[in-house]
Amino acid sequence: MKKLVILGISILAFINISFAEVKKIELPYFNWKMKDAPGKQEFEMYCLMCHSPGYVFDQSEGKTGKHLWRHVVYQMIEDFKAPIPKEDAEKIIKYLEENYSNTKMGF
């Protein structure tokens, strides 16, 4: 009896799955054109392994002060264990401070 119940449940599950509708989802594509400047390569190498440029800049837009980037980069290193050497972290911070501070992010 137990085997019959398991067989019945399996058949119902199979029937339910076989009638499931498959939908295609198309995500928008954003071509982020990063500003060319010293530190861009380090930013792309370390930051974009986990984040999209849109995520980085949407999180910071409207916040004030260059101090934001130092805080964010070192938070990634200290709290989230991002494998960024200090020398490269300073290059990333300088790149972000000089190109993406206190402005609407124009690409």
Q: Is the pTM of this model over 0.75?
A: no
End-to-end CA distance of the chain: 67
Q: Could you report the per-residue pLDDT of 2-29, keeping only the tens digit for each?
A: 777 776 677 766 666 556 577 788 867 7
pLDDT of residue 77: 97
What does the block give as tokens for 61? 């837009």
pLDDT of residue 105: 47
Report yes or no: 39 and 94 within 8 Å, Cβ to Cβ: yes
pLDDT of residue 63: 64
- The number of beta carbons lying within 10 Å of the beta carbon of residue 46 is 21
pLDDT of residue 5: 72
DSSP, residue by residue, 18-52: HTPPP-----------PPPSTTHHHIIIIITTT--
Residue 51 scores a pLDDT above 80: yes
Q: Could you report the per-residue pLDDT of 60-106, keeping only the tens digit for each?
A: 665 656 778 999 999 999 999 999 999 999 999 999 988 887 654 44
What are the structural domain ranges in the chain? 2-99
What does the block give as tokens for 95? 């790149």
Phi and psi of 39, rounded to 5°? 100, -15
Q: 2-99 domain in CATH 3.40.50.1480?
A: no
Q: How far is Cα 88 from Cα 72, in angstroms, rounded to an integer?
A: 14
Report yes or no: 42 and 88 within 8 Å, Cβ to Cβ: yes
